[in-house]
Amino acid sequence: LAKTTQPISMDSYEGQEVNITCSHNNIATNDYITWYQQFPSQGPRFIIQGYKTKVTNEVASLFIPADRKSSTLSLPRVSLSDTAVYYCLVGDREKLTFGTGTRLTIIP
Amino acid sequence: EAGVTQFPSHSVIEKGQTVTLRCDPISGHDNLYWYRRVMGKEIKFLLHFVKESKQDESGMPNNRFLAERTGGTYSTLKVQPAELEDSGVYFCASSQEPVYTEAFFGQGTRLTVV
């Protein structure tokens, strides 16, 4: 399974765009890149998934360069409610492998 | 539509006792997963059911843990006998397709073994 590396923590002010980058140098051809969000005392929640180029949904955008060795989750105009842990996961097998995640704190 | 539901939300038991956790997946989801996070560690995969069959139980820590999914609906995870190191949060997730699509997680069961 591809190992992922992402910042342990990030701070941002309300209303700003936040970009969280994840490195996955050993990503395999069949691997997808998936991001989950977790609030305290809740289970992880799916945000977005992609294979290559750019994916956008109502919550976030995911940018994946051609070599797929990294990916960037972009959250537009964050609010206090976006304070959470964000996990980058890579794999194609039927189980999710969570890393330490990035603890994002939004400052008023 | 109801989400993934887990019971109980919290459980405190003494070492050596038995505890059974329950997970009700989203209706129609054939794939059901158990994960857990022990104190200070990352969320780890335990096992995966496809309907009532165990597809992958490579993450089960030892034979004190027994998971079942009779009839392919709800699932139970029994810990017998519980040890101190079993304390943590146990998550259940379900998905319609294999998990490289969207998996829906329950709120978790916080287990404390004293």
Residue B108 phi, psi (nearest 5): 95, 155
Which of B100, B104, B107 to mutate to probe the A interface, most A CBs <10 Å?
Answer: B100
* Superfamily grouping for domain A9-107: Immunoglobulins (2.60.40.10)
Q: Which domain holds residue B50?
A: 5-113
Q: How far is B82 from chain A (nearest CA, A)?
A: 22
Per-residue pLDDT tens digits for A28-86? 888 889 999 999 989 999 999 999 989 999 999 999 999 999 999 999 999 999 999 99
Q: Tell me, what's the pLDDT at B39?
A: 85
User: What share of chain A has pLDDT > 70, as a percent?
Assistant: 95
By the CB < 8 Å criterion, does B65 face chain A?
A: no
CATH of residue B24's domain is 2.60.40.10
Cβ distance B43 to A44 less than 8 Å, yes or no, reads yes
Q: Quick one: closest CA in A to B40, which residue?
A: A100
> Which residues of chain B neighbour A4 with C-beta distances below 8 Å?
none
Q: Tell me, what's the pLDDT at A55?
A: 95
Region B40-64 average pLDDT: 92
For chain A, which residues make up each domain, given as ranges? 9-107
Q: How far is B107 from chain A (nearest CA, A)?
A: 4
Is B43's pLDDT higher than 70? yes
Q: How far is A63 from chain B (nearest CA, A)?
A: 18
Cβ distance B104 to A32 less than 8 Å, yes or no, reads no
User: What share of chain B has pLDDT > 90, as a percent?
Assistant: 85
Is B3 in contact with B25 (CB distance < 8 Å)?
no
Instruction: Count the domains in chain B.
Output: 1
